[in-house]
Amino acid sequence: MNIHLAKARGFCMGVERSIGMAKEARARLDGDITILNEIVHNHSVVKNLEDQGIGRTNSIENVKNGTLIVSAHGVAPKVIENAKCRGLNVIDSTCPLVTVLHKAADYYIKRNYTVIVFGDENHDEMKGVKGHDPQKIIVLNRIDTLFDLPEIEGKVAFISQSTQSMERFEKAAELVETKYKDVQIKNTICDATRQRQASILDLAPRMDLIIVVGSQTSANSQRLAQIAQQAGTTAYLIDNAAEVKDWWLKDVKNLGITAGASTPDWVVMEVVEMIEKLASENGNGQVSVIDEKDEE
Ligand code: SF4
């Protein structure tokens, strides 16, 4: 069996930056340090920071003192103001590419647009963006609900969650242009997401099975699994090596592995080791690991 590791996979710049800021704060500062929401949506990363004495909360109301770290997904500007008013030392680790989305929303609102953001309304990133102006920002969860959106007088801007599927965004943008008259389209999907999606699109059709390593709460990991499935290849999203099932490997000759932008490399390597072990027990033949990063 050949295990192919996707060319673009795993940690992105924004995730590395956030985790680095949290660790640096712990090394430098005394007192409580609390992350608002999950620093990134990966259980191994969250647990690792908790083990280093960094707490976590879903509300600033629970933080009485010390340092509050804003996660890579960002928050509404008002949340940061409130935290500062409460006397907290705020470290904002919002990914700069999420900030691009905030700035785009802000730019259009100030110019009297209604902003439609294509993303998951329950995701921290979308809650933060919507917080700029809940009356003027509409979150579109799914393409098939577009025609349920209200009629809008005046200008409309259509932007995207940073981890949205490129293909779906383009399809949705076409439909938005048919529903509304005066529309500005700005694709705010980040480069890391584009690269990981392009890699899985290239890899999936050549594979018998795809395993995406990432937490169920990770929007970009979920999209990688969806893209592989749309390409016609069975795909499973798993959090860690313990979730690999030996029956998945039956008759598999080429297995592709990718990882969401919040998945550490060591978790991916544990999955590879588990597959090697199960493959040798199940008679899948000799296992070769091909890292497509090395095949430039
Ligand atoms: S996936 Fe994109 S937007 Fe999200 S943290 Fe990584 S670089 Fe930033």
**Which sequence spans correspond to the domains of the chain?**
2-11+196-294, 13-95, 97-185
Percent share of the chain, pLDDT over 70: 100
The candidate with the shortest Cα–Cα distance to 197, out of 168, 173, 174, 165, is: 165
Give the Å distance between the CA of 193 and the centre of ligand 1. Answer: 7
Q: How far apart are CA 254 and CA 266, in angstroms?
A: 22
Q: Which CATH number fits domain 2-11+196-294: 3.40.1010.20, 3.40.50.1780, 3.40.50.2000, 3.30.465.10?
A: 3.40.1010.20
Catalytic-labelled residue, pool 16, 125, 153, 170: 125
Q: What pLDDT score was predicted for residue 283?
A: 80
| Sign of the alpha-carbon dihedral angle for 275, 276, 281, 287 | positive
Q: Specify burial of residue 129 (Cβ count, 10 A radius: 0-12, 13-18, 19+).
A: buried
Give the distance between the most distant pair of CA atoms in the chain: 64
Task: Determine which residue's CA is closest to atom 5 belonging to ligand 1.
Answer: 14
The answer to ipTM > 0.90 is yes
Which residue from 159, 162, 194 has its CB within 8 A of the most atoms of ligand 1, so it is best to mutate? Answer: 162
The CATH number given to 97-185 is: 3.40.1010.20
pLDDT tens track of the chain, all 296 residues? 999 999 999 999 999 999 999 999 999 999 999 999 999 999 999 999 999 999 999 999 999 999 999 999 999 999 999 999 999 999 999 999 999 999 999 999 999 999 999 999 999 999 999 999 999 999 999 999 998 999 999 999 999 999 999 999 999 999 999 999 999 999 999 999 999 999 999 999 999 999 999 999 998 999 999 999 999 999 999 999 999 999 999 999 999 999 999 999 999 999 999 999 999 888 877 899 999 987 75
Give the Å distance between the CA of 190 and the centre of ligand 1. Answer: 6
